[in-house]
Amino acid sequence: MGYADVGADIYLALGLVAAYAAGWAPVAFLVASITYVATGLAYAELATAYPYAGGAHVYSMKAFNDCAGFLAGWLVMLDYTVCMALFSIATTGYLTFFFPWLKTLVVTIAVLGFQVSFTGMGLTSLAFVLLLISINIIGIKESSTLNELMVGLNLIVLSAVMVLGVLLAFSLNLFTLQLSIVGSPEQFSHISYIWQGDISGQNLLYAVTLAMSSFIGIESIAQAAEETKRPDRTIPRATKMSVVSVLVFAVGLSVLSIGVLPWQVLAANLDAPISALVGSFAVIGPVIIPIVAFTGFAICLVSANTGIIGVSRVAFSMSHFGLLPRWFSRVNTKTRTPVRAILAFGSIGAVMALVGQLDWVADLYNFGALLSYLLVNLSLIVLRHTDKDTHRAWEMPFSLRVSRRGRSYQIPIPTAIGAIACFSIWSLVMLFHPMGRLLGITWTSVGLLVYGAYRRRTGKPFFSREIGATIKPMAYKFNALVLIRPEEKEEVVESIRNSLSTQFRLTLMSVVRTGRWHIPLSIADQYRELTMVDLREMAHALSGFGFEVSIRVEVGPLARVITDTVLSPEFDFVVLLLRKGFKKAQKKDKEDLVTLVSSVAPGKIMVVRK
């Protein structure tokens, strides 16, 4: 599912980026991929912790408020709506290999006395969107088998293209030569240039914003979390595989294309760049180009369909949470499909498709995606601190711990980088894309007006956190008190690691018993310091295995210390580590821990065998 939604992007982005980045197209893809990798990993952690259908708007509601949740969902809906148009245009582009007359066809009709012309590309794209809308209204579901076959075919075809391209057509001299061309020198009328001069550099920045279109769709995996078996295992694995595969093909094909064709040829074949790439392969190119064209046609059509499915799913979820009027969640009694949502947003996508211009439609695609991804990254950072009791089966690696005013903050470094990258590229979209700026702000403003009117009618505050508070995690963390004797550090660490999961927040505790041996307090304090050293070593080792660990050493009579600590509401469980020969030792020790803990808190005790 993840690859089907994202993998098709390269079929349109390859030529689009080369048209503006020129020889630096691979660099543009690499810069844009920062947001993709960081956001994909953020989705993986959030979806395992909060496995709800809906994705971005669920996390934003939980982290911030209902308005932020609405904004994240509304922007994702913009993505899906634009996705219908964008990939129906790309579908038509690859169809022109079989029907080249579509490129030159122009249909002119009279409307209210005015002559209106439509291109064959635009009309065909419109027809594809209308066809997909009809299919989704009828209720014919995508076959998962068909999806798997198309993804499998696409992986095989693109892998073959890369291997054959390197062996038969790649020129290191051409690649090196084109790397010296940093951005197209041509000045384009649809770009809002920021400063005079250095047109090439500004075209490169514009290309980075377009390269983002090759990395949009990773949220589809998270949106299926509610319907996934074992999301704690499946979603992180699927996300990482999708991230790696898409990154390899996006950057790899971009490098290959610059080493095979002049960037001007890729730009001239904007609608079907991979067909142009394969067509240049010696001997075998003309043989396999029909397969590539068909694969591009099929997977782009599937991706356009995911736009219709996605927008109806998000609209239904937002309506369910009370962020949109119930009108959008009504389903047809016969087909059981959300007909109203499909028609409302499908019609917008159909009008965009009629335009038939890839770069114009891509402006909107990036506007919504970058803002929603920014909210997802910020949500992860906030929830790490405001919802510490949530168990995260998979966590973003490479976190930085910062202490301020006696409080410790954990900031995932990739997420922080992702948030900065999303905001930076979105700012470039606002600066360079006049149509994206105008229509994106219009879409957002209309959405906020609808949201505000609906909240007022239902009597709910604009920035309420009421709905977000109802979102519960898949599992909570348990606070476990681990009573140990630290003389066997390695054995203790291994026993805990093999017996407990990271869902347990551990407190390692030892007791220096003064009542039994009548130890003076000065000597007891020395024992305490030595014990603390051992516990710190064990805590450090367990932290390396993903456990959250604290330590404490108490001095005093064993029975009193254990009773006071165990009865504290701070701990959900008390873990005892015992040897197999425990019963023999129990007869010798009248103050054994099992008997002591069982007598005061029998419901909390957990016994782990060494």
pLDDT given for residue 487 in this prediction: 65
Place of tokens 């920062």: 34
CA distance 161 to 13: 16
CA distance 467 to 233: 27
Q: What's the first-to-final CA gap in the chain, in angstroms?
A: 44
| Among 194, 216, 215, CA closest to 203 | 194
CATH number attached to the domain at 2-461: 1.20.1740.10
pLDDT given for residue 434 in this prediction: 87
CA distance 21 to 264: 10
**For residues 338-345, average pLDDT:** 86
| Position 219 confidence tier, pLDDT thresholds 50, 70, 90 | confident
Lowest mean pLDDT, pick from 269-273, 282-286, 521-525 = 521-525
Check whether 5 has a pLDDT greater than 90: no
Lowest mean pLDDT, pick from 10-14, 51-55, 421-425, 558-562 = 51-55
| Among 198, 199, 202, 195, CA closest to 187 | 199
**For residues 417-439, average pLDDT:** 91
Lowest mean pLDDT, pick from 334-343, 457-466, 490-499 = 334-343
**For residues 276-293, average pLDDT:** 87
**For residues 513-520, average pLDDT:** 66
Check whether 322 has a pLDDT greater than 90: no
In terms of CATH architecture, what is 478-609?
3-Layer(aba) Sandwich (3.40)
| Position 580 confidence tier, pLDDT thresholds 50, 70, 90 | low
| DSSP secondary structure of 537-567 | HHHHHHHTTT--EEEEEEEE-HHHHHHHHHT
pLDDT given for residue 255 in this prediction: 93
Check whether 440 has a pLDDT greater than 80: yes
Check whether 582 has a pLDDT greater than 50: no
Check whether 1 has a pLDDT greater than 70: yes
Check whether 399 has a pLDDT greater than 90: no
pLDDT digits (tens, 9 = 90+) for 191-214: 889 888 889 999 999 999 988 877
Check whether 545 has a pLDDT greater than 70: yes
Lowest mean pLDDT, pick from 111-125, 432-446, 583-597 = 583-597
CA distance 595 to 600: 9
Determine how many CB atoms are found less than 10 A away from the CB of residue 80: 26
**For residues 350-362, average pLDDT:** 76
Check whether 586 has a pLDDT greater than 60: no
pLDDT given for residue 145 in this prediction: 62
- Averaged confidence pLDDT in the chain: 85
The residue that leads in pLDDT, 22 or 328, is 22
| Position 590 confidence tier, pLDDT thresholds 50, 70, 90 | very low
How would you write 195-229 as a 3-class SS string? CCCCHHHHHHHHHHHHHHHHHCCCHHHHHCHHHCC
Query: How much of the chain exceeds pLDDT 90, in percent?
Result: 27
Check whether 516 has a pLDDT greater than 70: no
pLDDT given for residue 143 in this prediction: 47
| Position 447 confidence tier, pLDDT thresholds 50, 70, 90 | very high
pLDDT given for residue 599 in this prediction: 85
Amino acid identity of residue 234, one-letter, is T
CA distance 481 to 8: 51
Same CATH topology for 2-461 and 478-609: the answer is no
> 507 with 480: CB under 8 angstroms?
yes
pLDDT given for residue 518 in this prediction: 60
pLDDT given for residue 72 in this prediction: 92
pLDDT digits (tens, 9 = 90+) for 64-91: 999 999 999 999 888 888 888 888 888 8
CA distance 197 to 189: 15
| Among 353, 459, 340, 315, CA closest to 123 | 353
For the chain, the structural domain boundaries read: 2-461, 478-609
pLDDT given for residue 449 in this prediction: 93
**For residues 252-257, average pLDDT:** 93
**For residues 224-228, average pLDDT:** 71
Check whether 103 has a pLDDT greater than 50: yes
CA distance 203 to 183: 6
pLDDT given for residue 186 in this prediction: 92
Lowest mean pLDDT, pick from 14-23, 93-102, 464-473, 584-593 = 584-593
pLDDT given for residue 358 in this prediction: 67
